[in-house]
Amino acid sequence: MKKGKALIFEMGHAGRRGYSLPPLDVPPKPLAELLPQELARQLPLEIPELSEGEIVRHYTNLSRSNFAVDLGFYPLGSCTMKYNPKINEEAAGLPGFAFLHPCQDGSTVQGALELIHRTEECLKEITGMARFTFQPVAGAHGEITGLLVIQAYHRARGEDRRRVLVPDSAHGTNPATAAMAGCEVVQIPSDARGMVDLAALQKAVDEHTAALMLTNPNTLGLFEEDILEISRLVHAAGGLLYYDGANLNAIMGYARPGDMGFDVVHLNLHKTFSAPHGGGGPGSGPLGVREELAPFLPLPVVEANENGYYLDYERPLSIGKVHSFYGNFAVIVKAYTYIRMLGADGLKQVSTDAVINANYLMSRLKQTYHLPYDRLCKHEFVLSAVKQKKKGAAAADVAKALLDYGMHPPTVYFPLIVEEALMVEPTETESKETLDQFIAAMEEIDRRIGENLTEITRAPHSTPVGRLDEVKAARQPRVRWSREKDREKD
């Protein structure tokens, strides 16, 4: 018997059935009458034959082999793995939404268009932007859409600006996106407080600057206190300010990117607005812009007139399409449900609780782990495992050991400016008891490093698989079973 769980292809028996159908009440037709010969399968389909019970057990077991936010604490910094209310799924699954076809005529999908319009109104209010597009289907997709819009804006003004400034604490997608958009990336260092170094920014910003990409609070979880001065410097040179809204969970109802001076904003509906994500699931990275940039947004956008809602394709300055149809509509439904369920006060409370939870954890954990930027944080903070590394266990070992406590590890080795980084984002949906369990686990791991180092450096011990070759898993994933490859292995 093979070690580990059998693949579904290795299970079952010929003739076993997972369904029961009533006897045929029409005379069966020969295959030749139903399908042209050249389209008919020559060999039987190689699919496993199993009972319904076996199939249910197989997939239920598989679903329990992985970690999920519905199973336990998931403080994966920068990813905002909050609890996703099930009412969101209920709304997105309503037949009036779920059974729409994107090619339907606008007159038959008025409700869906209205929902997009209403969500846009909410996001405008939350961010201080003038217009949104919902076509981008991830944060990084919003980023590249934003940079294309920014380039189109500069071109329309007769300027060819290609330099994008990115702080060294930025999320990796920011410089990557700028490079993909054909821009030159200039890194701006952080100062000792973990903020953008204003002197370095002043030196870098000039007539070639297309934009500065910034997230506020930044990836250290710290609010860029000099944001108004940053905005003044960039705008004075004719550049634009791009807001990476992946960290909006920290400031909803308290501060708006538009009021800080940002011109372009992407949001991650799949983070801040509670649509489930992880494992590459469908996301939504709507992009908001100031009025002057609105003509360049992807087409179509939803407009309203006396006849109702319609899709406007008459936008000559638009950068065109960045995704089929209107993006991931179901994610927009989930985000709208969440926003309406909470209302303005509720969204503000989300940020209040996210910040309180993070500060509580930070103030307790800094007693055991090094905290390089020791200031009040927003929704997340970054510890360093340098003390633990001196005893033999790196940040990755601490992360792996946490899995044995039934908790997902924090983000590790990011942001790059923190050595042995452990980036913790508890989110607002966790109780004090859960936070205390996490603190106890982190403290116990630190103790165990001193007592039995190899137990930690060989963790996890309780998961279906132990330490994987993460580079191979990312670079050469084998996600499709093939009988031939399986035979070669045997």
Residues forming the site for ligand PLP (CB under 6 A):
78-79, 138-140, 171, 173, 215, 219, 244, 246-247, 268, 283, 285
Rg, the chain, Cα only:
26
244 vs 446, beta carbon nearer ligand PLP: 244
Contacts of 92 (CB under 8 A, 6+ apart): 98, 330, 331, 333, 334, 337
137 vs 401, beta carbon nearer ligand PLP: 137
Q: What is the nearest approach in angstroms of ligand PLP to the Cβ of residue 138? A: 4
Q: What is the nearest approach in angstroms of ligand PLP to the Cβ of residue 379? A: 11
245 vs 258, beta carbon nearer ligand PLP: 245
Yes or no: say if 274 and 334 are a contact pair by the CB < 8 Å rule.
Answer: yes
Residue 331 to residue 12: CA distance in whole angstroms:
37
Angle between helix 110-127 and helix 329-365 axes, rounded to 10 deg: 30
Taking CB atoms, the residue at the shortest distance from ligand PLP is 139
137 vs 393, beta carbon nearer ligand PLP: 137
43 vs 474, beta carbon nearer ligand PLP: 474
Q: What is the nearest approach in angstroms of ligand PLP to the Cβ of residue 88? A: 17
The sign of the torsion formed by the CA atoms of 229, 232, 235, 237 equals negative
Closest to 241 (Cα-Cα) out of 155, 166, 317: 166
214 vs 441, beta carbon nearer ligand PLP: 214
SS3 letters across 305-352: ECCEEEEECCCCCCCCCCCCCCCCHHHHHHHHHHHHHHHHHHHHHHHH
DSSP annotation of 3: S
Q: What is the nearest approach in angstroms of ligand PLP to the Cβ of residue 332? A: 15
Determine phi and psi for 187, rounding to 5 degrees.
Answer: -85, 135
Query: Which CA distances in Å does 225 have to 117, 194, 197?
Result: 33, 11, 11
Q: What is the nearest approach in angstroms of ligand PLP to the Cβ of residue 172? A: 8
Q: What is the nearest approach in angstroms of ligand PLP to the Cβ of residue 268? A: 5
102 vs 172, beta carbon nearer ligand PLP: 172
For residue 29, give both structure tokens.
């037709």
171 vs 400, beta carbon nearer ligand PLP: 171
For residue 199, give both structure tokens.
């002197």
Q: What is the nearest approach in angstroms of ligand PLP to the Cβ of residue 273? A: 12
Q: What is the nearest approach in angstroms of ligand PLP to the Cβ of residue 66? A: 18
Q: What is the nearest approach in angstroms of ligand PLP to the Cβ of residue 5? A: 29
Query: Which CA distances in Å does 488 have to 75, 165, 216, 485?
Result: 41, 51, 52, 5
Yes or no: say if 250 and 260 are a contact pair by the CB < 8 Å rule.
Answer: no
Phi-psi region of 147 (alpha: psi -120 to 50; beta: other; left: phi over 0): alpha
171 vs 379, beta carbon nearer ligand PLP: 171
